[in-house]
């Protein structure tokens, strides 16, 4: 909403050989000759939740980065940021240019209006492939490979201990030794 244009980085030439390294290198090739003040990234991807692409990009561009932000104020070339830190809030001040990853609660999304949707259809969408970015397919070979995916084993039903508390403790210790084998 409100974007002037969009750019799609096409990974089709790479087939399925795409990982965090590949995407961050492609984004770096796109951004390296652009002027920008702030790059907004997602906190984690919905595919694996690793949260690596944006920090990798910031390192490649050699710019400041702050992850999991929930509030952002910019005044001139200074950014004041609030971020979640294990149930607490940390306030960070830094200079632009800056890359941040956005956490839920940063803003209240609006529903697009019908006129806005119609305007968006007329906005330019540029598609860039590896050649457009000056990249070679061999240089972007993924550094990680998924070898298997599986669901965790189903949990067995629990046991309800009966009797007085002292009897329950004795039974629990016996079960932890003989069945669970954790003590």
Q: Model confidence over 44-76: pLDDT tens digits? A: 877 677 889 999 999 999 999 999 999 999 999
Q: How confident is the model at residue 1 (pLDDT cuts 50, 70, 90)?
A: low
- Per-residue pLDDT tens over the stretch 70-129: 999 999 999 999 998 888 999 999 999 999 999 877 888 788 889 888 888 888 899 999
**H/E segment holding residue 42:** strand 38-42
Return the structure tokens found at 18.
């795409």
What's the whole-model pTM score? 0.76
Cβ neighbours around 142 below 10 Å, total: 15
Residue 106: its pLDDT value, please? 82
End-to-end CA distance of the chain: 57
CATH of 6-140, one of 2.60.40.10, 3.40.50.620, 3.90.70.10, 3.40.50.2300: 3.40.50.620
Q: Where are the domains of the chain?
A: 6-140
What's the rounded mean pLDDT across residues 148-162? 88
Q: Are 77 and 95 within 8 A, CB to CB? A: yes
The percentage of residues in the chain with a pLDDT greater than 70, rounded to a whole number, is 99
- Per-residue pLDDT tens over the stretch 16-25: 788 999 999 9
Residue 139: its pLDDT value, please? 87
């Amino acid at each position: 909403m409100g974007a002037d244009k969009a750019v799609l980085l096409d990974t089709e030439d790479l087939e399925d050989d795409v990982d965090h390294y590949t995407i961050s290198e492609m984004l770096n090739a796109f951004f390296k000759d652009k002027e920008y003040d702030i790059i907004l990234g997602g906190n984690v991807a919905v595919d694996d939740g690793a949260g690596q692409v944006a920090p990798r990009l910031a390192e490649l561009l050699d710019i400041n980065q702050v992850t999991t932000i929930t509030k952002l104020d910019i005044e001139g070339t200074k950014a004041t940021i609030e971020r979640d830190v294990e149930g607490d809030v940390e306030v960070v001040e830094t200079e632009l240019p800056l890359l941040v990853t956005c956490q839920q609660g940063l803003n209240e999304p609006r529903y697009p209006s019908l006129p806005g949707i119609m305007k968006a259809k007329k906005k330019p969408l540029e598609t860039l492939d590896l050649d457009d970015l000056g990249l070679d397919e061999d240089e972007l070979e993924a550094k990680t490979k998924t070898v298997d995916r599986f669901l965790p084993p189903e949990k067995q039903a629990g046991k309800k201990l009966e009797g007085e508390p002292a009897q329950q403790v004795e039974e629990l210790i016996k079960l932890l030794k003989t069945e669970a084998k954790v003590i």
